[in-house]
Amino acid sequence: MGTVISVSNRKESADVKSSVNMSNNTTHCPNVSTYEFNIFAVCTYSFISIVGLIFNLMALAFFFRHTKSRSQTIVYMTNLAIADTLLILTLPMRIYHHLGFTGLPQWLCDALGLVLKANMYGSIFLLTCICFDRCVAVSFPMAERVQKGRQKAPLICLGVWLFTFGASLPIYFSKLKENSNVTCYTCFESQPVYSTQPVVVSVTLFVGFGIPFVIMLICSWGLLRAVQQSTVAQTSLVDSRKIQRMVAASLLIFLLSFLPYHATLLFLCLHKNNISSSMLTAYQYSLIAACLNTVLDPIAYYFTTETFRRNVDISAVQRMFLLNSQSSEMGNRSRVPNSS
């Protein structure tokens, strides 16, 4: 009789523990209003999806069409356009979510988040490679060792892809394991629990943002210094002010795109025990700013490339509309009866 009672007590205690574990999992769900219509997110993500996709597809069409004149910088730009395009392809599901629709499986949300973050950091590293390649190309134009090193651009791009996705896959599988015991799902509105851990934030800020930004600063200074000291810069063949504006625009775009996101990650890490809905909203908007980089990259890099502007005549579209408007005006004038 005593054994029967003890067995039943053990069973009841096990049930109590399982219910407590379920309640703990449930309480870890962030208190945010999910599945609500967010007009700002919908409009911004739609703008990024349409404009960014058009710009990057134009760049890819040009890069793959002119393979014979492909330089090391063009190799980095091609991979940057691919990374930006892959990031943009994840945005329609975010638009679907912010429109207020439900039913997205959690594994799909995690997979899309993986692709977005991997390509975002891939863009950061590729932007750093472009800045470094421009600096050494101008500073050491005749160094044979430097030129041989620049020819390894495809291998460097392959290393960037392997590093970004290789570092992101463990996060994805750990999320799958955690979500198997969680009873509530919040998809894109959820708190970035893994990304706000102190160790992860330290590595992310140092490797994913700090080192690339310092390299870009040093290379930008070296590029401007090399241009100013060159004899060609003293002539009218090189517009040093134009190069200065290009360098300043590249650094400004980098900061505006990626500084808010990493600053928000640090803020969430410091206040991870008391995260409010406004903090999560700030995190979502900082992620939108990071995604906006896919539209700014073509403007700062592709469309400022001399070879690109020579072969892609964007003003032809404007001339086409002007001709159409002039022909319509002439047609309207021909329909007006002569009163004389």
Residues in Cβ contact with 338 at an 8 Å cutoff, skipping those fewer than 6 apart: none
Answer yes or no: is pLDDT of 157 > 90.
Answer: yes
Q: How far is C-alpha 42 from the geometric centre of its chain's CA atoms?
A: 17
H helix intervals, 209-314: 211-229, 240-270, 277-291, 293-297, 306-311
The residue among 109 and 231 whose pLDDT is bigger is 109
Q: Does residue 11 have a pLDDT over 80?
A: no
Query: Is it the case that residue 207 has pLDDT exceeding 70?
Result: yes
pLDDT of residue 238: 57
- Mean pLDDT over the full length of the chain: 77
Q: Which is higher by pLDDT, 43 or 279?
A: 43
Rounded Cα distance between 17 and 11, Å, is 10
Q: Is 72:153 a contact under the CB 8 Å cutoff?
A: yes
What pLDDT shows up at residue 198? 85
Q: Which residues contact 55 (CB under 8 A, 6 or more apart)?
A: 295, 298, 299, 302
At position 73, the amino acid (one-letter code) is: T
The matching CATH number, chosen from 3.30.70.141, 3.30.43.10, 1.20.1510.10, 1.20.1070.10, for 34-182+194-307 is 1.20.1070.10
Average the pLDDT over 41-54 and give the result. Answer: 95
Higher pLDDT, 140 or 286: 286
Residue that the structure tokens 């003293």 belong to: 234
Which is higher by pLDDT, 182 or 37?
A: 37
pLDDT digits (tens, 9 = 90+) for 76-124: 999 999 999 999 999 999 999 888 887 778 788 888 888 999 999 999 9
Q: Is the pLDDT of residue 131 over 50?
A: yes
Domain ranges in the chain are 34-182+194-307
The reported pTM is 0.77
Q: How far apart are CA 162 and CA 158, in angstroms?
A: 6
Decide which of 135 and 327 is more confident: 135
Rounded to 10 degrees, what is the CA torsion of 142, 145, 150, 151? Answer: 110
Give the model's pLDDT for residue 50. Answer: 96
pLDDT by residue (tens digit) across 55-64? 999 989 888 8
**DSSP structure string for 9-46:** HHHHHHHHHHHHHHHHHHHTS-----S---HHHHHHHH
Has residue 12 got a pLDDT over 60? Answer: no
Which of 133-147, 174-188, 234-248, 251-265 shows the lowest mean pLDDT across its residues? 174-188
Average pLDDT of the residues in 142-149: 83
Predicted local distance difference test score (pLDDT) of residue 318: 42
66 compared with 253, residue with greater pLDDT: 253
